[in-house]
Amino acid sequence: MPFHGVVRAIPAIGWLLLLVGGGLRADTVRFRNGRALDDVIVVEESDASVVVDFGTGSSTLPRGTVAAVERAAPEANARLRDAWQEKHLLNRRYVPPEFAGLAAAFGQLGALRSDALRTNAALRAVAARETELHAEEDAVRTLADDVGRRLLETPPGRNVAAYNALVASNNALGVRARMARDEQAQCERTRAAVADRVAVYREALTGFGARLAQARQDVAAAPGSNAAARVAFLDRLAGRVAACERDFVLISVPVAPSRAGLVVTAVVNERTPGRFVVDTGATRVTVSEAFAARLGLDPASLPAVDFVMADGRKTRGRLAVLHAVAVGDARAEEVEAAVLPGVSSDGIDGLLGMSFLRLFAVNLDGATGRLNLRRFAPQP
């Protein structure tokens, strides 16, 4: 690194003063122009040059530019080295050669986390817009009902102008309703895209955790000559993984066995409880027609869709969007659901499928009889 680059680097490394702390400062190089490099480690001095370590590399300074070198206590430099390793953990200097692939995988995990955080930030605006769209739909529905009633009361031959005005109003309301539905569909696509990005990050985090655990087992089984450095690196990496895992909040709810499978209680649309079989193989949440009636849904007013069941059978049902589904403290909004014909058995109201579960890391713990859900909820 050239001398002018070294001097410009001073502000970037000033934060390390906080890490050394306790009144112990690492080496300092003072220049003849009055500037200084604080908290570096001088690794070599000669009549011609001074070699300075910055944590991720070193630089050779012409001796003629240096006014003085102030050496620190060994423990101060040791603490600075620890701070460097913590900050630059994935730098090749600090990665044991056998863990180069592990370090690269953690770097990729960091990129996936950044992507999940960025896309997840969009959900706040989506939720606010969905609230506005629901209000718009309610207003249009009320107006359309009124216009429809007045059309029935206005014979077209008796008052042509009034009738045509009502028809125009009805058409305009139809356009508003379609626009609201189209925008709502876009909001749903955005939610699905965010859920997919978070799921990719979550799966990568789970896979990396397993890989890290195996590496620690391998070191324990065959320590080797550099075991201390390898263990220290893996311990630091484990700390980073633990921080990533805190992005997900654990929600644990009881499950009850039944002939249909493991059952949880879910509250739909804020007020209607039901018993649902947890089914990670189901694309959507499904509800019976009886449960849809309890929700106040009219299946006949919903779009008809052909669904493929788990056993390969096709059945005709209705597609709905549930305002909210909550299982304990685990909550999702605007959940796509299928209303299926037939009578529910064993008091089962439907399936808790992936349109809800995809928002969570799902674990069914048979030993404790609980469903564990981890929700992406990163702290700001």
Whole-model pTM: value is 0.62
* Mean pLDDT score across all residues of the chain: 86
CATH of 3-88, one of 1.10.10.410, 2.30.30.100, 3.40.50.2300, 1.10.10.10: 2.30.30.100
Average pLDDT estimate for 228-252? 92
> Does residue 7 have a pLDDT over 50?
no
Q: Identify the burial level of 199 via C-beta atoms within 10 angstroms of its C-beta, where 0-12 means exposed, 13-18 middle and 19 or more buried.
A: middle
- Sorted by where each begins, the domain ranges of the chain are 3-88, 123-246, 249-376
Neighbours of 113 (CB within 10 A): 19
Strands 304-308 and 360-365: unpaired
> Does residue 63 have a pLDDT over 90?
yes
Edge-to-edge, what's the strand order for the sheet holding 360-365?
248-254, 370-376, 360-365
Lowest mean pLDDT among 63-67, 185-189, 204-208: 185-189
CA distances from 78 to 7, 37, 239 (A): 23, 17, 20
- Say which residue, 279 or 24, is predicted with more confidence: 279
Output the pLDDT for position 310. 61
CATH class of 249-376: mainly beta
